[in-house]
Amino acid sequence: MGWIIALIVGGIAGWLASMVMGRNASMGIVLNIVVGCVGSVIGNWLSGPLFGIRGSVQEFSVTGLIIAFVGAVVLLGIFNLVQRNRVR
């Protein structure tokens, strides 16, 4: 049951991050889920040592959703930088 919740929360976090970063039109539901789940890992990796906050995507909590959202925004920001430099 935990992995189903992780997919749902990851999808929500990825969708919100893609709307904030202006990439919602080019991303589908699968990519939103992937970005949200990977963003959760990145968010926990950043927030743990810096702030001492951990959030799990496997159990629905506001903290876990916020951390996944911030990590997904960071991931999409890095992707935008790489893609912009590659086009030039």
The answer to pTM > 0.75 is: yes
CA distance 9 to 21: 18
Helices (H), 1-88: 2-20, 29-51, 62-87
User: pLDDT by residue (tens digit) across 15-74?
Assistant: 999 999 888 777 788 888 899 889 888 888 888 777 777 666 566 778 888 888 999 999
Residue 20's identity, in one-letter code, is V
CA distance 57 to 21: 21
| The predicted structure's pLDDT at residue 40 | 84
| The predicted structure's pLDDT at residue 1 | 67
Contact 85, 33 (CB under 8 A): no
Helix (H) or strand (E) holding 60: none
